């Protein structure tokens, strides 16, 4: 009976460790995504534009080819016109692709 309880205690301890590792990894990834969003906001502010939405796209085009993080963004240009674009954030900075005017 004692060996059976030891086995259960070990299984519970291992499950708690795995859960803790998964939670910590998720928390670190969320912090990284927040940092990238702030980089995107600064990018638009420097251009005299305003970011209105940034949605992380972990499986977007190019996501598997390098270490960049991909977002779909909506922003207002300096004239107040709305755009949508794909945004890539990496060690070299912020880059926009597929930038389209979506509103007046």
Rg (CA), the chain: 21
Residue 81 pLDDT level (bands cut at 50, 70, 90): very high
The number of beta carbons lying within 10 Å of the beta carbon of residue 87 is: 28
Q: What is the DSSP letter of 76?
A: E
| Chain CA centroid to CA 63, Å | 11
Residue 13 pLDDT level (bands cut at 50, 70, 90): low
Q: What does the alpha-carbon distance between residue 102 and residue 84 come to, in Å, rounded to a whole number?
A: 6
Instruction: Report if pTM > 0.85.
Output: no
């Amino acid at each position: 009976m004692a060996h059976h309880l030891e086995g259960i205690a070990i299984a519970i301890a291992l499950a708690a460790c795995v859960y803790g590792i998964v939670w910590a990894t998720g928390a670190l990834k969320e912090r990284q995504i927040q940092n990238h969003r702030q980089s995107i906001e600064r990018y638009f502010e420097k251009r005299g534009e305003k970011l209105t939405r940034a949605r992380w796209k972990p499986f977007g085009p190019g996501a598997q080819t390098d270490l960049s993080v991909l977002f779909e963004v909506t922003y207002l240009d300096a004239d107040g016109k709305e755009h949508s674009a794909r945004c890539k954030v990496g060690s070299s900075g912020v880059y926009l692709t597929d930038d389209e005017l979506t509103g007046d």
